[in-house]
Every structure is written in structure tokens, then in C-alpha cells.
Structure 1
Amino acid sequence: MAAVFTGHAPDDEIESDTAGFYRQVLQTLAGDGIAFMVGGAFAFAHHTGLHRDTKDLDLFIRRADFERVAALMNRHGLHTELTFPHWLGKVHQHDRFVDLIFNSGNGLSPVDDDWFAHADESQVLGETVKVCPAEENVWTKAFIMERERYDGADVAHLLRACAHRLDWMRLRNRFGPHWRVLLSHLVLFGFIYPAERGLVPPWLMHELMDRLRHECQTPAPPTDVCAGTLLSREQYLTDTREHGYVDGRVPFGTMTDQDVATWTQAIPHRS
């Protein structure tokens, strides 16, 4: 069951011209039968009931559908670009845009059939749409640990709101070899909400802690990888550039060296 909204939905305060553009994109995709899901602030509100202002619309699609989406939008007078080939495109109308997302920025979370199989349905801008599953929301947000953006609070709110309906085994499997990231958020959840730490299944905590204990009793792997780049595209560059570590995004994810270079070049300049 979806969360009950508190306050206004994210689409309540979107100006009418922008809402019309978003609605046009949603209706165009639905009319052509292209599978998509709504994410971002809309999905977060759907799962948690927590509202935040949004300046864009995040749509999740399969990478294999991007060229079809681009051609469709162009036929309807909208400009589409493949902004970052490893994870993100955009649909433009003047100064407005819609994000077309088919992976995560670190290349770990490609949109696959499982996203669609477990998606919810909701109303966005008066349209009935699929919404990204709670498990995938937790999975992707768990890796966002930039200096300027940390999604740990979003993860905690999602866990609190959705604990009783989460498929915890599927969530665990999504993290795969990166289970330490999941464990870190579950430990913090018990710190943030001491009285609600029981919302996390004991079997999962025991399993992950057993993995941790086993690792502590075995020799460290002979690797020169820095996996910190999966958490922040900027804060671990000194390790890969100056200390000889291999960028974890290439062996662990779907990014190429060129993807890494392009994504790094796009880091906002801060004086």
C-alpha cells in the first residue's frame, strides 16, 4: 500500500506551463506504449508522504528505449539529448526539461525488467503512471554521498515509511557485493530512530553482521581498487589521480574510462 500524503503533493506548486510540458511528455510516452516510471520527488512523496519542492521531472526508462524516446519526442517538437551516455538524457522545451534516467550516476543501477515488475502506480499531474519501486529508491539513494548532496536522510525516511512492505531479500540482493553500503544505512537507521530499529528484520542484520565478522577474520583482498568513487564522483579523485588506486566505477559498474572522464568534467566548479 502506498504511503498517505501529508501536506501537498509535489505537483501542486508547479507552474502551469511547466506542468503542461511534463504532462505532454507523460502522455506522449504512454500513447506510444513506451515503458517508463516516475522517480525523484514524486516517487519519494508517493512512498513516504513527505513533500519537497521539485524543479524537474525524473522519468526512468530502459537504455534500449532511449533512441525510440528521442525520435518520438522530436516528432512532437521537443528536443532530446543524451547528456551523459552512461546514465542520463534530457527532454527540453525552452528552459524546461525532463530527465530521462536509465542508470545511476555511478553506473551501478541500470533500469531493468525488475524495476518495472515491482513498480507501484500513482497519480502524477492527473496521469496514472508507474512509480519507481521503494527498493530501487533505497538502492540508488544509498550511494549518493557527495559533499553537496547526501541522500542518507532519504534512505532513512524510506526505510521508516516502507519497512512493512519492503521486499527485504530483494533489497539485499540489489546491493550484491556492495552489501557494506546497505549495512551502513541500516546501522544508522537504528541510531536515527532508536525506538523503530526493529523495523529492520533481525535476520538481515544478523546475516550482514555475519558477513562482516567473516571478513574481519580473513585476509584483505589483494586489490588496488578505491570504491569510494561509487559514493562520490569528486571526493576520491585524489586517490585515483595521485595515489594509484583503480577507480571502482570501471571494474564494479558499467562505466568506461571515457564515461568517468566526462562525468568528472561535469563536476560543478566551486570557487
Structure 2
Amino acid sequence: MPHHVDAGLATTLKRVASTLKTADIPFALGGSFAVYAHGGHSSDHDVDFLLREQDKEQALKALAAVGFRTEQPPEDWLVKVYDEDRMVDLIHRPVETPVTDETLADTEVISVEAISMPVISATQLMIHKLLSYSQHYCDFATGFPVARSLREQIDWQRVRRETAGSPYAEAFLILLDRLDVVPSDRDEPDGEGG
């Protein structure tokens, strides 16, 4: 991982991952640390783990047992844990889609800060990033470093297919094409993806 990652957050990430592993709770690293784990760049500095909703309570219990402060925020798609003042999001429904066994299978085991853990695939990260854009939050600047730094690892046809319902994702993909970050559909034999 690049050296500019906050050392405190990296330690917290390791504590959460090893606690979840010890408790046998299936999880995957998501968010900006997953981008770093794939060798990419992200403008965010958040620690996100994905887990299934049915494992949420057990995860909170396991983390509380090792000294994390737990919080059930008003949003119903995640829970939060704190290591002193460092926050970790445990997300069970990113972008309105529940985390399933399938989500957790779409991962790569990578050594992050010397602990091997499942990390969400670059393709899935890009899909989550694009589906997070809405009329209330549409900061494309957060997506560009991810797209540029991970583009070779991303299945762009799948990204197009899985974000087809979102006009924000479509606009972002047009920008990537115009900026020559990724080849457009027009260069691929089956131009009509879907």
C-alpha cells in the first residue's frame, strides 16, 4: 500500500479484518483501501468493509469484545465501529443492493498491510462508485483516479451493463471515453451492450 495511507487507519483496518477473520465472519474490504490494495489511487480515505446483513450483529459483537465502540446510525444500510476516533463502516447494502455470497465471491485475496484478506474486485469497486452518483451527490472527481489507476483491471463491459440504469454512470463513462481513459463501446464488436 502506498506510504501516504494514514498509519492509524491502516492499523484500525488490520484490527477489524483480523477480528472478523477470527470470528469466521465472511467479509470483503471495499472503498478507498480496496482501491489502494489493487494498486490504485483514491481521493477518499475511508475504511469500508462489506458484509452480509445476517452477519451484522455478530460482527458488532465481535468488534465490541475487542474494544471497538459500535454505532447504529440512522441510515439502515450500514453500521459503524470506532477505534478511538477512527471510524470504520461495515456496509451490508451498498448502492441499494444487498451484499450476498456472490458479492463476497467477487473478490481477490490480497495482502493488505501484511494481513491477507478478500478485497472487492476492481470491477465491482467501479460499479459501486458509479452507482453512488445521484442528483444529490455527483462528484466525478472521486471516480477519475479510480478509473485511471485501475482501468486495466476493470471489466468495462460489465461496468456498462450493471450501471445501464443510471444516467450519472452513463455520463461518467462518456467522459472516460472522451478523455481517452477507456475505449468506448463503439470500439468493441458487440457495441449494443445489454
Shorter-chain-normalised TM-score: which range? 0.7 to 0.9
Aligned to 1:14: 7
2:21 alignment counterpart: 30
Aligned position for 2:117: 129
Which residues in structure 2 correspond to 1:53-68 (within 5 Å)?
Answer: 54=45, 56-68=46-58
Provide the TM-score with structure 1 as the length reference.
0.59
CA displacement, residues 215-270 of structure 1 (integer Å, 9 cap, x when unaligned)? xxxxxxxxxxxxxxxxxxxxxxxxxxxxxxxxxxxxxxxxxxxxxxxxxxxxxxxx
- 2:109–2:118: 8 Å Cα contact kept in structure 1? yes
Q: Does 1:206 align with 2:191?
A: yes
C-alpha contact 2:71 2:79 (8 A) present in aligned 1: yes
Counterpart amino acid of residue 188 in structure 1 = L
* Equivalences for residues 83-232 of structure 1 within 5 A: 83-104=73-94, 107-145=95-133, 150-175=138-163, 178=165, 180-193=167-180, 196-198=181-183, 202-203=187-188, 206-207=191-192
Residues 148 and 205 (structure 1), Cα distance of their counterparts in 2 relative to 1, 3 Å cut: farther
Counterpart pick for 1:80 among 70, 74, 80:
70
**How far did residue 83 of structure 1 move?**
1.5
- Check the 8 A contact 1:10/1:52 in 2, yes or no: no
Give the partner amino acid of 2:113. L
State whether residues 92 and 98 of structure 2, in contact with CA within 8 Å, keep that contact through their aligned partners in structure 1: yes
Q: Could you tell me whether the CA contact under 8 Å between 2:133 and 2:169 is conserved in 1?
A: no
Unpaired runs of 5+ in structure 1?
212-271
- Look up the equivalent residue of 1:26 and give its one-letter code: A
**Percent identity over the alignment?**
25
Does the Cα contact within 8 Å between 1:119 and 1:131 map onto a contact in 2?
A: yes
Normalising to structure 2: TM-score of the pair?
A: 0.79
| Amino acid paired to 2:172 | H
Partner of 1:215: none
> How far, CA to CA, are the matches of 2:158 and 2:134 in structure 1?
26
Q: Residue 86 of structure 1 aligns to a residue in which SS?
A: coil
Q: CA deviation at 1:29?
A: 0.6
Structure 1 residue 133: deviation in Å?
1.5
Matched-pair contact (CA < 8 Å) for 1:9–1:45: no
Amino acid at match of 1:14: A
Larger radius of gyration: 1
Gaps of 5+ in 2: none
> Is contact 1:9–1:51 with CA below 8 Å preserved after alignment?
no
The alpha carbon displacement at 1:53 in A equals 6.7
Q: Any idea what SS the aligned residue of 2:35 has?
A: helix
Change (3 A) 1:10 1:65: farther
- Root mean square deviation of aligned Cα: 3.1
Amino acid at match of 1:184: A
Q: In 2, distance between residues paired with 1:157 and 1:21? A: 24
